[in-house]
Amino acid sequence: MTNLKRHLAPITDEMWNFIDDEAREILASKLNARKVVNFEGPKGLDFAAVNTGRREDLTKDLVDGVSYSKRHVLPLVELEVPFTLELDELESLTRGAEDVDTAPLIEAAEKVAKAENEAVLKGLDEANIKGILAASEHEAVAVEDDLVAPVVEATKKLVAEGIKGPYNLLLGSDLYSLLYESKSNKGYPVKRRITNLIEGNIIYAPSLEGKGLLLPQDSEDFEFVSGQDISIGFSEQNGNELDFFFTESFTFRVNAPEAAVVLD
């Protein structure tokens, strides 16, 4: 892709493969929100908006006898996160080094993942993205010092809506710790009890902080649309420093607000 300018970087294919592999490993462990929603795309950098099928009447009459309306679309938001690597560090790779310093790359990858996760879970008003937490139509299920009973209650809410399992359970840091601290395990691991109940996956989602989400698996109720998927490009060289950047474009929408239950 020409917008990435990878061909201008003074590094070998081996170095690019190394950078891509390092990024892929971090992103695979940090991109937790896209694991539980329907992923569409990537549709390409030139894909700019998603049709919502809605329109809004315009009150202004430009021509007598003509009515006007405006179509609603969801524009894709573009993310970009810069980072810098040392050229001599990358060159050491070709000499067999196994301890290449990629800390700036790792930090940038974590920022991209956090930005994407929070857009999906919490929303991004500036890009017309309503996150799952705000979209849920159910009253949040209260959690105190036990997870099993709240998950049972959340499951009942989804079943009452006709939404069948299996389900995925996303947990922020506070609730995730209850998997190992719950007082109601009665000799049987809480994590296993919940996994058997939801018949799906329990996913650690730090962006949720003190909250959790129960969602159906393999559902089109939550739609993540990717234009350009996460990619790494090259900016410029400043002496021994090489400036790179992560970039992606996407939008997200909730098609069925009744398909998510918040635990709080």
For position 179, which CATH number holds?
Answer: 3.30.2320.10
- Name the token pair of 51: 């049709």
d(CA 108, CA 6): 18
Per-residue pLDDT tens digits for 219-230: 889 999 999 999
Per-residue pLDDT tens digits for 67-105: 888 889 999 999 999 999 999 999 998 888 888 899 999
Assigned domain for 240 exists: yes
> pLDDT band at residue 249, thresholds of 50, 70 and 90?
very high
40: Cα separation from own chain's centroid: 13
Assigned domain for 59 exists: no
Assigned domain for 194 exists: yes
Q: Which domain holds residue 204?
A: 137-221
d(CA 91, CA 45): 31
**CB neighbour list of residue 70: distance below 8 Å, 6 or more residues apart:** 55, 56, 58
Q: Are residues 92 and 142 in the same domain?
A: no
- Name the token pair of 148: 């099993």
Q: Are residues 183 and 238 in the same domain?
A: no
Q: Are residues 142 and 166 in the same domain?
A: yes
**CB neighbour list of residue 187: distance below 8 Å, 6 or more residues apart:** none
Q: Is residue 175 within 8 Å of residue 213, measured between CB atoms?
A: no
Q: Is the pLDDT of residue 185 over 80?
A: no
Peptide bond into 166 cis (omega under 30): yes
Assigned domain for 58 exists: no
Number of structural domains (the chain) is 2
Residue 199: other Cβ atoms inside 10 A: 13
> Burial code of 19-51, b = ≥16 C-beta within 10 A, e = fewer?
beebbeebbeebbbbbebbeeeebbebebeebe
pLDDT of 65 reads: 81
Q: Are residues 90 and 151 in the same domain?
A: no
Assigned domain for 60 exists: no
Percent of the chain with pLDDT over 90: 82
Q: Is residue 128 within 8 Å of residue 75, measured between CB atoms?
A: yes
pLDDT of 187 reads: 57
Q: Are residues 25 and 96 in the same domain?
A: yes
- Residue 79 pairs in a beta bridge with 248
Match 């992560």 to its residue by tokens: 246
> Burial code of 77-100, b = ≥16 C-beta within 10 A, e = fewer?
bebebebebebebbbebeeeeeeb
Q: Are residues 245 and 195 in the same domain?
A: no
